[in-house]
Amino acid sequence: MANETTLFDRTGEATAYVVNATGNIFLWDGTPAAYLESSRSRMPFSVYGFNGEHLAWFDGQLMRDHSGGVIAFVRGAVTNVIPRIEPIKSIKKIIPIKRIKRIEPILPLARNSFSNQSLQQLLESGR
């Protein structure tokens, strides 16, 4: 859908998506896992779990973890991984109440490599 942005993991699998109107991030099975928060007047957005933990940063093309590694990308953002065909999404589940946010860490230098952590693991840690 045009109002959703698919997030692919390091293997090119569609793992999650951002609902552009709300900034909520859902796993492919419909589980709400995180949300985007703009704490500054510039990009990137902070990615927070509903548990209040800061998980990553997202600039609209790449999601980076706390070490600066790429944890997810949108179609066309990387050239060394071919995104797979997106399966049908499950129905969205109810969004939980957001807990108090932890302080955002300092933005690390961007690396040109993928993170060792999977997108699925990262997002599940925010539930």
Tell me, what's the pLDDT at 40? 64
**What number is the average pLDDT over the span 67-96?**
95
pLDDT tens-digit profile of 90-101?
999 999 999 999
Look up residue 105 and give its amino acid.
P
Domain that holds residue 112: 4-124
Tell me, what's the pLDDT at 121? 94
pLDDT tens-digit profile of 16-33?
999 999 999 999 999 999
Tally of structural domains, the chain: 1
Tell me, what's the pLDDT at 2? 65
Tell me the helix, strand and coil percentages in the chain, rounded to 5. 5, 30, 65
Q: Copy the structure tokens of residue 73.
A: 């990308």
- DSSP secondary structure string, 98-127? PPPPPPPPPPPPP-SSB-SS-HHHHHHTT-
